[in-house]
C-alpha cells in the first residue's frame, strides 16, 4: 500500500415500509467493509446487531455504526456490504456498493426487495 486516505462512513435509513416510513424501524443485521491490502482481502465489521439487540431508527436518520473510520488504499477502493432488516417489515437493504478512494464525499443508495432503502456515504480525507 503506497497511498491511503482516512474514510468515514455514514449509513442512513431512508425508508423501511410501504406506509412511507414515518414510524421507526427496529433495525438489526450487519454492515461490513471489504478491501484489498497488499494482495490480501480484509473484511471489517462496521455493524453487527442480532435480532434481540435491534435498534430503533427513524427514517432519514443515520444508523450508529460500531466502527465508522477506516484507512482505505487509494489504488483499490472499498466495498460496503449491507444486510439490514426490520423486525416487523422484513428486509430493509441487502447488497454491496463499491467506492473508489477519492477525496470528498460519495453517496450510493441500496434498496430492499419491498420498500426499504438505505443510503451509504463515504467521506475520504
Which phi and psi angles does 51 have, rounded to 5°?
Answer: -55, -40
The whole-angstrom separation of Cα 104 and Cα 82 is 22
The pLDDT of residue 61: 96
What pLDDT shows up at residue 11? 97
H/E segment holding residue 42? strand 40-49
pTM of the model: 0.90
Pairing of strands 61-62, 4-15: antiparallel
The per-residue pLDDT for range 15-33, each reduced to its tens digit, is: 887 666 678 999 999 999 9
Residues 6+ apart with CB under 8 A from 19: none
The radius of gyration of the chain's CA atoms, rounded to the nearest angstrom, is: 15
**Strand 61-62 to 55-57 pairing:** unpaired
What CATH number belongs to 4-124?
2.60.40
> Which has the higher per-residue pLDDT, 66 or 2?
66
Tens-place pLDDT, residues 100-119: 999 999 999 998 877 789 99
Alpha carbon 27 to chain centroid distance? 13
Amino acid at each position: 500500500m503506497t497511498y491511503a486516505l482516512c474514510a468515514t462512513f455514514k449509513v442512513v435509513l431512508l425508508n423501511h415500509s410501504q406506509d412511507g416510513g414515518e414510524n421507526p424501524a427496529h433495525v438489526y443485521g450487519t454492515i461490513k467493509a471489504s478491501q484489498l491490502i497488499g494482495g490480501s482481502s480484509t473484511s471489517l465489521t462496521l455493524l453487527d446487531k442480532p435480532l434481540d439487540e435491534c435498534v430503533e431508527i427513524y427514517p432519514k436518520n443515520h444508523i450508529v455504526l460500531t466502527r465508522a473510520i477506516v484507512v482505505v488504499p487509494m489504488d483499490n477502493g472499498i466495498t460496503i456490504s449491507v444486510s439490514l432488516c426490520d423486525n416487523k417489515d422484513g428486509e430493509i437493504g441487502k447488497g454491496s456498493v463499491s467506492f473508489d478512494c477519492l477525496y470528498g464525499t460519495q453517496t450510493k443508495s441500496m434498496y430492499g426487495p419491498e420498500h426499504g432503502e438505505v443510503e451509504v456515504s463515504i467521506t475520504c480525507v
